[in-house]
Structure 1
Amino acid sequence: MSVAQIIQDAWNKQAKWLVLLRPLSWLYKTGFVLNKSLFKSGLKHTYTAPVPVMVIGNITVGGSGKTPLLIQLVKYLQLQNIRAGVISRGYGGKGPFPAMVTLDSVPNTVGDEPCLIVQSTGVPMAVGPSRQASIELLLSQYELDLIISDDGLQHWALNRQLEWIVLDKNRGLGNQRLLPEGYLREPVQRLERSTVIEHAQNPQTNLHMHLQVGKPYLLNPAFDAEEIFDAKQDFYAVVGIGFPQRFYETLKSLSVQRFQCHEFPDHYDYEIDDIQFEDANPIITTEKDAVKLLPLLKQHPEFNRDIWVVPVEAILSDECYTLLNQQLKQLGLHKD
């Protein structure tokens, strides 16, 4: 098990030994505050795009439901005839950057989440470490009304007009400590200055979302006939996301009880040996992992094990859409 996985497991369990990392958390906070102050004072350059920018992010490390939320918002904006484009860091991709993301893009080049976003929505999207370069690339090819930044909440070099923070109440804030003692990227007080979307099955606020689980489908169907998903099978749960426990709960909601967990780091670059097992039991995984496994299967046509994919869709409260429409109207973007 890697150091990153050990710390991730300790965060989830709120292990007491994490207090030993407090000096590093103090160092992280010092650097964080200094960097932010340099941007606010103008000593570091900030970029203002020619169209409004909306950042969707979180203050925690690991999965919060941010990507399904972004996908749902993009679909809603498309229905409203608002021309949206998306930018992302493209984490896990090797570039060259900036790069446009297309239906033919692969995770090794542009990252796994960008591939999933474009495959789900067809939205114009560019990725790269420089958000400014990504925006300029997008605008050189498309006329857009709004830029949505996938993550980048702490990227102070990019000015933004809207911020939505996803707060996963199922996971919580852990020990509420900054990295690396805890999994907070910013102090909890940051939630007071942005729109917070509560991700929970039993929400306590009006602005909330939950993930609705869809029907599992085969990533590598062997026949043209429809395959039948049998929840009573033994599965290998292969997952490389920030908070794998959420996926295990999703499996239980599908009445999948017998599965062996095989966890990998977030944005993991799979190899074919990672999904080879001694018996013929099927694999079950997330859509985010599936976009990385599919190119691997194309490279290894001899692989014949079933891989089931569990899709999820973000369901937002009506109040989320009401607020979004108000915010868009303030930016002159709401189209009646």
Structure 2
Amino acid sequence: MSAESNSFPLCGGIVHTLVQSGTTNSQSSSLAPIIVNGKGADFKCEKTIKARIKKKIVTQKLILSLIDVAIKKKDKESVKKYWNTYYCLDKPVTDAKRLYGKYCKNRICTVCSGNRKAELINKYLPIINQWEEPHFVTLTIKSVSKNKLPLMMRNILVGLNRIIAKNKKRSQRGKGKKLMGIRSLECNFNPINKTYNPHFHLIVPDKETADILVDEWLVYSNKKGFWASKKAQDKQKIYDNEKCLVEVIKYGSKIITVPKENESHLEQIPAVIYANALHNILVSMNGLRLFERFGFNANFKPKTTHEIVLRNYEILKYNPSIGDWEDDNNNSTCNFKLPDNWNHLLEFNIDLELE
């Protein structure tokens, strides 16, 4: 007797539906065995599952606002991408030990950005720990309007790459230092001036590299009309490698903005999410490599594919009305409740107009 086989994507790999194994009243025994790729999340760890649920809730509420913005701007491509993010990890499967799900891998998704953050920390922290005097560097320019943002994003990427390439050639001729490090491209929104500030965060091995980058960035950016001021750049020795690495590898936009510049009063000012501005940042970053290493090769271990056959499992479904996954009997997974400050932010403090 031949068995029919279907397949569908799950957890970044492929889930293969195997032969049907009989039918009973229970969901787990009536479903065909499947092959899942990946290690999954620890379903028995309450902290892990609640963290996933929190990210899922935040992402869904934020994405609905971004969808409204994209529809208003008639940006069909972004609407499609945002809906894909909305349904990220919507119907995970569990064998009661691990949780496996379909991930969107979009930049705005807090679930997927958390996964990527963990992956990059595992890759780069051991390397940074070997550097004798790592420094944290910020390279920035004068803020620009929304119309100039897409071009400026590309211009500053070209600029930094040219500085790195120029010093590489100098070092090959024995006349300079080869620059190395990791960098991320980010952008913040200023709701007072309605301007955008694209900038780089970098981690480099020593103070000399930090000094060269800042000096040459000032020369290049002012020559090209980016108008970078010396006092806006930053370089400082790192005392907590992991904390600094997390700052650098976070995804490239700050979605929560305090609408005042006086930092001494931050705790008294309500946070606001500027969805329209966030959409502009995300669109400007399309096609750009936000995170990258330069000047060194890393001997990373090749990614191994973990394939597991699940025979007894449940398909959960996310219920946005309660902010939790439920089984077929409407039993929730962990009864997580989003903190009141987050609820208030996502319900009342999302601005759809300012950009």
Both structures adopt the same fold (TM-score exceeding 0.5): no
User: Rg larger in 1 or in 2?
Assistant: 2
